[in-house]
Amino acid sequence: MQKMTVQDIDIKGKKVIIRLDFNVPLDESFHITDERRITSALPTIRYALSNGASKVILMSHLGRPKGTGFEKDFSLLPVANRLQELLKEKVLFLNDCVGPAVREAIAKSSERVVLLENLRFHKEEEKNDPAFAKELASLADVYINDAFGTAHRAHASTAGITAYLPSVAGFLIEKELLYLGNAINNPKRPLVIILGGAKVSDKIELIKNLIPKANSIIIGGGMAYTFLKAQGINVGNSKLEKDKVDMARDLMEQAKKAGVEFALTSDFVITQDFTSDDCKISDVIPDGWQSLDIGPRTIKRYEEILSKAKTVVWNGPLGVFERDAYAKGTRAIADYLASLKDVTVIIGGGDSAAAVAKFGLEDKMTHISTGGGASLEFLEGKELPGIAALNDKK
């Protein structure tokens, strides 16, 4: 961790503005259905309060509003209400994030904690507009970024603001970089990578970056069928990226040359109708059929590989886990990982995290990343703008 953290800077008596990732799912009644991103932010907020910050100003986005003003469906008001309960402290919620009224409300408020309205109600946020970034910076004396989920975006609240304030990382970003960084660059070996999800194209750079680092790579999910096709195996109507078959063949050849075990699905849960739960286990995928999950023999083989691991990084489910008929493979591997002793298990955010949450196994994993796209880009070896912009340690 070469960037300064909140512990490297004096915040006593200062106003701090913290970029958090409160992009939580809401149901039709605006109730939060998964509050992990809120609870993950609490350590940094509480640290700022207990270390004498005169005001703790919180900002985030939620969803994908048009950027033309207030939209009720994307208001952070439900987050403010839940945050107040969790902190056991009054939270002042403002109906905007910039402007004279916002500055005046913060100056006059007796509350120590302030939550600004959705940053993306202003199109200037995603455009990294300097004037908008300067407006946000004018609210505080110190900037803390603890929104790992948006660290791969160069937005006004993640990158632009750092031009105007001392800028440091919060505890969540520090934790994410520690776990993800060590898993890839300094792992206890063997290092086993599990990759799933729909598309090979989403994971090409990731696989390229991991082949020199991994001992074994396990492939599942929709992306597996492009690799199987590259081996000359019939995949029926299964998910297939025809234009990536040659690339898949090249990646397997690279893994072979590097001495990296590359494990693919060998039996399947197949169906003739994607919308149906009527399915069967098969060693082949006939024409007119498609595979939506890994079969029991594949599960057993993957577990044998994982039994030797000391570090596991999992990014992407192994089947259509949202439906019980096709969740058995993902569930079995999640259960197996939860049972391992003295093994570092890191879940790379996104659908992998959603799967682990669905199965109630969150507490059994070493670390679950709060960043889907950010964790993916970090594992690909890319620089994350929101982290690169922070002050370096002296």
Q: What's the pTM value of the predicted model, to 2 decimals? A: 0.89
Q: How far apart are CA 40 and CA 38, in angstroms?
A: 5
Query: If DSSP codes are grouped into helix, strand and coil, which group holds residue 93?
Result: strand
Please spell the DSSP secondary structure of 229-241, one letter per residue: HHTT---TTS---
pLDDT at position 370 is: 86
pLDDT at position 1 is: 64
- Please state which CATH class domain 6-172 belongs to: alpha beta
pLDDT at position 34 is: 87
Q: What are phi and psi of 217, to 5 degrees?
A: -125, 120
Q: Is the pLDDT of residue 266 over 80?
A: yes
Q: Is the pLDDT of residue 199 over 90?
A: no
Catalytic residue list: 37, 199, 350, 373
Higher pLDDT among residues 286 and 381, named by residue: 286
Q: Is the pLDDT of residue 248 over 90?
A: yes
Overall average pLDDT of the 227-255 stretch: 96
Q: How far apart are CA 359 and CA 356, in angstroms?
A: 5
Residues 148-188 have pLDDT tens digits of: 999 999 999 999 999 999 999 999 999 999 999 999 889 99
Residues of each domain in the chain carrying CATH 3.40.50.1260: 6-172, 179-379
What is the CATH code for 179-379?
3.40.50.1260
Sheet of 311-315: strand order equals 261-263, 216-219, 191-195, 311-315, 344-347, 367-368
Q: Is the pLDDT of residue 349 over 90?
A: no
pLDDT at position 245 is: 96
Overall average pLDDT of the 368-392 stretch: 91
Instruction: Give, rounded to a whole angstrom, the gap between the first and last alpha carbons of the chain.
Output: 12
Per DSSP (E only), the strands in the chain are 15-19, 55-59, 91-93, 113-115, 142-145, 167-169, 191-195, 216-219, 261-263, 268-271, 280-282, 290-294, 311-315, 344-347, 367-368
Residues 24-34 have pLDDT tens digits of: 999 999 999 98
